[in-house]
């Protein structure tokens, strides 16, 4: 059985970098700043985005996590998927199941997620799912913004 639980994200985020050093060293937006730098960057963004973090479990084992939130852009409130992570040992077998859980949790909302282009694996995954993609620049870094309309 797979389920989600609203949770404090610190330990799970830290564990993701311990289990996936390539993410820490290569793909993270502040790669090179060490585990604490990356964890704090993510947590600061969660605060800025009013994000809530949910851990996904299979039985008693953590599979991964996601965070959703709200941001205001040009006076309009937009739902965002602030983060999405699947532990390496589950990526080949549970990624689609986790994506379905997120879809159900978001309850057919229109939402967006921004991914730094250097995170090639995440970009490939979201390119297959998105209804619209916009290239942008944020904090002097190239990102892709993926739009989803789950009600369609």
Tell me the pLDDT tens digit for each residue of 14-25: 888 888 888 888
Tell me the pLDDT tens digit for each residue of 8-61: 778 878 888 888 888 888 877 787 788 888 889 888 888 888 888 888 888 888
For 112-135, letters b (16+ CB in 10 Å) and e give bbbbbeebeebbebbeeebeeeee
In order of start, what are the domains of the chain with their CATH numbers? 2-149 (3.40.630.30)
Tell me the longest C-alpha to C-alpha distance in the chain. 42
- Compute the chain's Rg from CA coordinates: 15
Query: If you ran DSSP here, which 8-state letter would residue 131 be given?
Result: S
3-state secondary structure of 24: helix
Whole-prediction pTM: 0.79
What count of other Cβ atoms lies within 10 Å of the Cβ of residue 4?
Answer: 19
């Amino acid at each position: 059985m797979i389920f989600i639980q609203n949770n404090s994200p610190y330990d799970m985020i830290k564990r993701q970098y311990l289990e996936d050093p390539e993410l820490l060293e290569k793909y993270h937006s502040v790669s090179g700043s060490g585990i604490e730098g990356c964890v704090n960057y993510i947590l600061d963004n969660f605060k800025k985005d009013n994000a809530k973090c949910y851990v996904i479990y299979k039985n008693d084992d953590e599979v991964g996590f996601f965070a959703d939130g709200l941001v205001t852009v040009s006076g309009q409130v937009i739902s965002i998927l602030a983060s999405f992570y699947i532990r390496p040992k589950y990526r080949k077998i549970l990624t689609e199941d986790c994506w379905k859980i997120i879809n159900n949790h978001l309850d057919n909302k229109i939402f967006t997620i921004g991914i730094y282009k250097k995170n090639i694996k995440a970009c490939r995954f979201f390119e297959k799912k998105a209804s619209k993609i916009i290239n942008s620049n944020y904090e002097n870094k190239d990102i892709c913004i993926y739009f989803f309309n789950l009600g369609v």
